[in-house]
Chain A
Amino acid sequence: MYAFEIERPATIADAVAALQDEDAQALGGGQTLIPTLKARLAMPATLVSLTGIGEMKGVCLSDEGALCIGGATTHGTVAQEAAALYPALAALAGHIGDPAVRNRGTIGGSLANNDPSACYPAAALGSGATIITNARTIAADDYFQGMFATALDAGEVITEVRLPIPQAANYQKFVQPASRFALVGVYVAKYADGVRVAVTGASESGVFRWTEAEAALSADFSAAALGDLGVSAEGMIGDLHGTPAYRAHLVKVMTGRAVTAAG
């Protein structure tokens, strides 16, 4: 790693102030950023650790019935504390990486990084979440802007994520066994006004909504309703783990499984 300083602010305001420096970078749980620094793929002068900010931690229910998760809340905490409120989300959080990774990695860090194979982007997009930063609120539909790209401005911090709680939901992840990231992951959530289907791991454009499946499932919430639908292999990721056609095929398989499991 190149040398850098670490600051540990105790409030969002102090963190935002520290991040005004253009050579400063936010540090969540570090489960992606620290390996990135070790590979010398980033060279910040200062890391601003967000994990000491009490007001950015925890899980609660909003007055409107949405699940609110502080940006610095670990996957392990979400797995435990959201279990009764939003079981599908808790199950997703409880299968990210491994237990030690889940004790450090945070929802804000995952969404800010927007790895094309990460799990949380599928949950946020599939739930029609609202991403709340120190400066504004961003709808999930506007937030994800391609592989590792988001609507966040430099120095902007995800302070909270609000996820409307669906009537039924499920996440099915086809795991790439070495990394435990999703080779393809599909999040299906059924709301009173329709079904949302979000796919991670598959596309070169990052997480996306499979709108044709959403329409079919909104009319009939069963795997059979997917019928002849399918996603095109064009634009899908191809690597040594799977071809674009293989990933496109998996999208439909995992969607069907998620619908069946959601019940």
Chain B
Amino acid sequence: MTKVTMTVNGKAVSGDVEGRTLLVDFLRSDLRMTGTHVGCDTSQCGACVVHVDGAAVKACTMFAIEADGAAVGTIEGQANADGSLNVIQQAFQDHHGLQCGFCTPGMVMSAAALLQENPTPTEAEIREYLEGNICRCTGYHNIVKAIMAASGQDVSAIAAA
């Protein structure tokens, strides 16, 4: 076992992990932060997207030891300080950007990374950025609409769902 130390949503955490412990398993099983989901476990679906030193990564395809010393951000850290939904989360609610909700943590984390890089993305840029996030319920239209709305742009031109 190897001791790892990192910050998760600004809070210092540490734990003993095996070499093969994935970052997502450290978050979910050791830290009991189960907001980050495992959908496919093969880096296809993106339900496990978290931020490591500001970059969106698939937590099922990175070892916990590789995040030693890093600043990790998860869905649990997205809400505003008073516990209310942040602008992206609120937009997902307002625009019905989820149905079963399983993919939503990854969708929100990817959306946050996109808007950090590109504060006013086009519809095409949003769809391309979500290539690695799979949703089996919504058909994506309302997710795209929610991200567009979160960026403060008009959503009337997005395909209705």
Contact = CB atoms under 8 A, between A and B. Distances in A.
Q: Do A and B bind each other?
A: yes
A156 B56 CA distance: 30
Interface in A45-96: 47, 49, 51, 76
A99 B113 contact: yes
Interface in A73-128: 76, 97-101, 103-104
B75 to A, nearest CB: 14
Interface of B: 2, 18-20, 22, 41-43, 46, 49, 52, 55-58, 61-63, 65-66, 68, 110, 113-114, 129, 131-133
Nearest to A80: B117
Interface string A1-19: 1111110100000000000
A3 B19 contact: yes
Contacts of A209: none
A100 B132 contact: yes
A1 B20 contact: yes
A35 B113 contact: no
A212 B68 CA distance: 51
A197 B132 CA distance: 29
Nearest to B46: A100
A97 B5 CA distance: 29
27 contacts: A3-B19, A3-B20, A5-B2, A5-B19, A6-B2, A6-B65, A8-B65, A8-B68, A31-B43, A34-B61, A35-B42, A35-B43, A37-B20, A49-B63, A76-B55, A97-B132, A99-B56, A99-B110, A99-B114, A99-B132, A100-B46, A100-B56, A100-B110, A101-B43, A101-B58, A103-B56, A104-B57
B132 A98 contact: yes
Interface of A: 1-6, 8, 30-31, 34-35, 37-38, 47, 49, 51, 76, 97-101, 103-104, 180
Contacts of A37: 20
A5 B113 CA distance: 31
A4 B57 contact: no
Contact of A101 (B22, B113, B132): B132
B2 to A, nearest CB: 7
Contacts of A31: 43, 61
A6 B19 contact: yes
Contacts of A8: 65-66, 68
Contacts of A99: 56, 110, 113-114, 129, 131-132
B66 A51 contact: yes
Contacts of A4: 19-20
Nearest to B42: A35
Contacts of B57: 100, 103-104
A3 to B, nearest CB: 6
Contacts of A51: 66
B99 to A, nearest CB: 22
Contacts of A3: 18-20
Contacts of A100: 43, 46, 49, 56-58, 110, 132
Nearest to A178: B44
A49 to B, nearest CB: 6
Nearest to A98: B132
A97 B43 CA distance: 10
Q: Which 4 A-B pairs have the closest CB atoms?
A: A98-B132, A103-B55, A6-B19, A98-B131
Contacts of B41: 38
Given A34-B61, A99-B129, A104-B61, A6 B56 contact: no
A176 B10 CA distance: 39
Contact of A30 (B61, B114, B129): B61
A188 B134 CA distance: 32
A155 B81 CA distance: 49
Given A99-B114, A99-B129, 18 more contacts: A6-B19, A8-B65, A8-B68, A30-B62, A30-B63, A31-B43, A37-B20, A38-B42, A47-B19, A97-B132, A98-B46, A98-B131, A98-B133, A100-B43, A100-B57, A101-B43, A103-B55, A104-B57
